[in-house]
Each structure stands twice: as structure tokens, then as C-alpha cells.
Amino acid sequence: MQKPILDMTAGSRMFWWDKHNPLAIFMDRRRAKFTIPDRSHGRADGTREIDIAPDVQWDWAKDGLPYPDASFSLVVFDPPHLVHAGSKSWLRAKYGVLTDTWREDLRRGMDEAMRVLIPYGIVMFKWNDEQIKLSEVLKAIDRKPIFGDKKAKTHWLVFMKEADK
Ligand SMILES: C[S@@+](CC[C@H](N)C(=O)[O-])C[C@H]1O[C@@H](n2cnc3c(N)ncnc32)[C@H](O)[C@@H]1O
């Protein structure tokens, strides 16, 4: 069966309720295991394992997405939101970091997400304002969400193919 969901920035699948949801393809450019400090869950020694184990290891900023046009109903796009993070920080381990080309990279990511969607398919985009304001990101990707959170620091936005300009 062709799976209807692509998570193109799956990381360790933290926000997935079912981390092995059979409807989804999980993609990330990294494949890695980290031990990070975390007292909220995890082990008695106050650490936690972060396992980044994508189904497909791929860099869409470099190579686009390896799927034909109109392949998915839903694309999940939760890119790193930090340009600065300590080289050994747990934030870097969990979320990855952006480089100086973040504007071009996010734009390519969003263009590719739209390309592989069916007509009126959905991109679920997540952003955190910590270092780069959402308004800058929307300018860089040159698309408009149909709705989503405007005020909180973390934004969950919905874009629809054919309704995003
Ligand atoms: C904010 S994290 C995603 C967290 C994830 N949503 C979760 O629930 O755990 C962003 C992820 O995007 C990946 N990423 C960043 N740029 C990428 C690229 N060009 N191609 C593929 N994956 C990328 C990073 O390696 C990182 O794991």
C-alpha cells in the first residue's frame, strides 16, 4: 500500500502517539542515538535515550523529496528552529540545527512538500519562535497558512495545497 502520510522531519518521533503508525513514512537526514539529561521520564539516572531511526534517511534540502508529484495526503514538516545550540546540547541532539542557508532550505522543503501532496493535501508545519520569528519564516517560504496558532511561542500551522498563496 502507498502510505498517505510523509513525516519529512521525523527526528525521534516525539510527538507521534503511535511511533510506528503504519500509515506514515518517517524520514530524517540523521540516523543516530543520543543519551540526554532528562528527569521527567526515562531512567533512574536522570537520562533518556533519543533514537533517531528513520525509515528513509534522506536530505530534502540537498536532494528534494524522492517521491513523484501527488503521492501523499498529509506531509508533516517540523524543521529545526535553532541556528545556535551548544555543540553537545540536548536541544541540538533532539531537534538538529539550521545552517546559514535556512531560508533556502525551508523554502525548498516547503516547495517539495507541496509538490508531493495530492490536490488539497495538507502540510502540518510546526515552528518555535525562540530564535527566528514566524513572520521571517513565512516570508522565506512565501506561503500562507490557512489557519494555526498566532500567539503562542510554538506555532502549529496548517497549509493546504492550492490554498497557500
Ligand atoms: C524539530 S526535529 C523533529 C522532531 C520530531 N517532529 C519529533 O516529534 O520528535 C527536526 C528534525 O528534522 C531533521 N532535518 C533537518 N533538516 C533536514 C533535511 N534537510 N532533511 C531531512 N531531515 C532534516 C533533523 O535531523 C531533526 O531530526
pLDDT for residue 165: 81
Residue-wise pLDDT tens digits, 111-144: 999 999 999 999 999 999 989 999 999 999 999 9
Work out the burial of residue 159: count CB atoms within 10 Å of its CB; fewer than 13 is exposed, 13-18 middle, 19 or more buried: buried
Whether 41 shows a pLDDT value over 70: the answer reads: no
Residue-wise pLDDT tens digits, 42-59: 577 888 888 999 999 999
Give the Å distance between the CA of 79 and the centre of ligand 1. Answer: 5
Handedness of CA 33, 154, 141, 75 (dihedral sign): positive
Ligand 1 pocket test, pick from 14, 21, 29 with the greatest ligand atom count within 8 Å of Cβ, gives: 29
Q: Could you give the dihedral angle defined by the CA atoms of residues 69, 61, 124 and 100, in that order, rounded to the nearest 10 degrees?
A: -150
Residue-wise pLDDT tens digits, 92-106: 888 888 999 999 999
Tell me the whole-structure pTM to 2 decimals.
Answer: 0.94
Give the Å distance between the CA of 82 and the centre of ligand 1. Answer: 11
CATH topology of domain 5-160: Rossmann fold (3.40.50)
Ligand 1 pocket test, pick from 5, 7, 8, 9 with the greatest ligand atom count within 8 Å of Cβ, gives: 9
